[in-house]
Amino acid sequence: MSSSRLEILNDGGLRHDARRPYELRSTSFALSTQSNAEGSSTVTQGLTTIAVSVYGPREPRSRANASHDRAVISVEVGVVPWAQGGGGGMKRTRGDKRLQEIGAAIRQTFEPVIMTHLYPRSEIAIHVQVLSADGGILPTSINATTLALISAGISLTDYVTSISIGLHLTQPLLDLSQPEESDLPSLVVASLPSSGKITLAQMETRLHVDRFQEMMDLGVEACKVLKDEMEGVVKEKTRKIVERMDVRGVAVEEQ
């Protein structure tokens, strides 16, 4: 709200980081980045980096939480003190309401997507760690959680991908960075790319109803692009693992 000096969109139609309105930030997806979790991933979108580890399905840590017919999902979100830059200008602790809200949003997003009935009486623990923050913590966390769950081999009905959409005057912008996020009305959409259905939509700033539909449609479209990007990485990684599994596999079969 304060940095009104920022020019959101210049005369040439470029944003402050030289992107076009519908251009996403550079992304990198890495799977199985942590060896002692069942599944993990590190996702970078622009200058936001988030690491997610998934443990389980495993015996629930507290038996009171167990459910007899499905797995329970627990999500914990943490931010490293240096993530925000500037010597930890925003201090966030474990009990922070904002982080708990993000955690609850991630849990509720994945509850219908994970096939929890396959894992009765167990627990799936998702740990999200924000390593550097430059806008879009929630969408990047959701993308990273999808990849971590995939690398853990947990059954999902589909990918869940997420993106933020802003609105400058009448021009929607995709994938907002921190300065844009604080200046513009923004919407976060998470969708299931194959059906195009929306599982999470969050908006916190005033926006006219008529503009809303356009932004939402754009977000769903962008989610599909992200999914293609992620699927490429997942397949490439899987192909390598499958290749390795066949190393000397023939020799064993002959014995």
Residues binding another protein: what is the number (CB under 8 A)?
104
Site string for another protein, 135-154 (x = CB under 8 A): ---------------xxxxx
* Pairwise CA distance, residues 182 & 169, whole Å: 15
Chain residues 26-55 in contact with another protein, contact rule CB under 8 A:
26-30, 32, 35, 38-39, 44
Chain residues 7-26 in contact with another protein, contact rule CB under 8 A:
19-20, 22-26
Q: Closest distance between another protein and the C-beta of residue 4, in Å?
A: 14
Closer by beta carbon to another protein, 81 or else 153: 153
Give the number of other Cβ atoms within 10 Å of residue 88's Cβ: 13
Span near another protein by CB under 8 A; candidates 5-13, 86-94, 126-134, 191-199: 191-199
Q: Closest distance between another protein and the C-beta of residue 168, in Å?
A: 16
Site string for another protein, 72-111 (x = CB under 8 A): -------------------------xx-xx--xx-xxxxx
Q: Would you give the distance in Å from CA 251 to the centre of its chain?
A: 42
CB 187 within 8 A of CB 219: yes
CB 176 within 8 A of CB 186: yes
Nearest to 146 by CA among 156, 138, 136: 156
| Residue 64 binds another protein, judged by CB under 8 A | yes
| DSSP label at residue 64 | G
* Pairwise CA distance, residues 53 & 126, whole Å: 6
Q: Closest distance between another protein and the C-beta of residue 169, in Å?
A: 16
Closer by beta carbon to another protein, 64 or else 87: 64
The helix or strand, by DSSP H or E, that contains position 255, with its residue range, turns out to be none
Give the number of other Cβ atoms within 10 Å of residue 156's Cβ: 14
